[in-house]
A and B are shown apart, each in its own frame.
Chain A
C-alpha cells in the first residue's frame, strides 16, 4: 500500500449538530446493513425483497445524512470514508439496530420498535433550524411510515398466529425490549440538538410511544413487555456489544482494504 493511499480515517465530530446527525446516520446505516444481510435469505421471495427495500431506504437516508454532515464539519474526505472507516467506538448508533437477525420475528420486532421511535425522532426535525436536515427528515418520514406499516402487520400476525410464531415473537420481545430505553434517553446528544435548535425534544414522546407499543403487543397474541430492571445503554456513546464488531468486519472490509474505492 503506497503512502498516498494509506487509510487516514475520519475525525470525531465536535459540534453538537454533527454529533447528533452522526447518531441518526449511524442508526440508519447499521440497521440498513443488518437488513441487507437478509438478501437472498428471506423466508419468501416477497419478504426477501421487502427487507432489502427497507435496507435501501435506510442506507439512502444514511447517505444523505453523512453527506450533509460533511458540509457542516469536514470530518472525512467523503461520505464513504466517514461511513465505513471509523474504529468501533466512534460509531454512535443505538444498540438495538445492531442486534442480530435471529429469525423473522426478531427482524420484524426490531424494525417495529426502531421505526416507531425513528418516526418521532424525525418529526422532531421538521422544524429544525437546519433546512436541509428538515428536508431529509420529511423525505424519510414517508419511508418510515411504510416500514412501520410493514413491520407492525408482521408483529401482529406472528404474535397472533400459530403457537410457534407466537413463541418466536415472545422470544424476540424478551431479547430486544432491554434496548428500547436507550432510544429515548434524554442524554447530552439530544440536549445538544435541542439547545442548538437542530431538533425538538422527541424523548418527551416516550410514554405515548410505550402506550402505543403495549397496545399493539397486546393485540399480538396478548404479549407484554418483560420486566426490565435496567435498560441497556451505551451505543450512543460508542460503548457497543460484540454484534457491531461483526457488522463492521463485513461493512468496512472493502473501504479499508482498498481506500478510496468507488463503485
Chain B
C-alpha cells in the first residue's frame, strides 16, 4: 500500500514566536491525510501549536559530496559568532 503513498516531512512549532522545527516524516496519500497523520503521530503529547507539511521530494538539498567547499570555509571564522557579546538580562530566545 505504501508503494504509491508519498513521503512528507513534518515541521512543528511548539508555540507562537518560535520557529517550526523538523520533527520527522509520515507516509500519506495526499496533503489532507498527511496533515491528519502528522497531527496524530507528532502532537500527541501537547508538542504543537502549528504544523507544516512538505512533500519530501520537494525539498532541495545540498549535495553531501560538496560539503567541503560549502561548509569548511566557515569553520575558522570564529569572529562571526555572537559569543563575543554579553546577552542582555531577560532575553530568553536568541
18 A–B contacts from the bound complex (CB under 8 Å): A44-B2, A44-B27, A46-B26, A46-B37, A46-B40, A46-B41, A47-B37, A49-B37, A49-B40, A49-B41, A53-B40, A53-B44, A146-B39, A149-B36, A153-B32, A153-B36, A157-B29, A157-B33
Q: Which residue of B lies closest to A52 (CB)?
A: B40
Q: Which B residues touch A47, using CB under 8 A?
A: 37
Total chain A interface residues with beta-carbon distance under 8 A: 13
Q: Mark B20-33, 1 if CB is under 8 A from A, else 0.
A: 00000011110011
Given A44-B2, A44-B5, A150-B36, 6 more pairs with CB closer than 8 A: A43-B1, A46-B37, A49-B41, A49-B44, A53-B44, A157-B33
A50 touches B40 (CB 8 A): yes
Which residues in window 37-58 of B have CB below 8 A to A? 37, 39-41, 44
Q: Which B residues touch A157, using CB under 8 A?
A: 29, 33
Shortest CB-to-CB span from A5 to chain B, Å, is: 36
Q: Which A residues touch B28, using CB under 8 A?
A: 46
A residues with CB within 8 A of B? 43-47, 49-50, 53, 146, 149-150, 153, 157
A153 interface neighbour in B26, B27, B33, Cβ under 8 Å: B33
Q: Which A residues touch B29, using CB under 8 A?
A: 157
How distant is the Cα of A186 from the Cα of B28 in the complex, in angstroms?
41
A44 touches B36 (CB 8 A): no
Q: Which residue of A lies closest to B41 (CB)?
A: A49
Q: Which A residues touch B1, using CB under 8 A?
A: 43-44
Shortest CB-to-CB span from B36 to chain A, Å, is: 6
Shortest CB-to-CB span from A35 to chain B, Å, is: 13
Instruction: Take A53-B40, A53-B44 as given contacts and tell me if A46 and B32 are in contact as well, using a CB distance cutoff of 8 Å.
Output: no
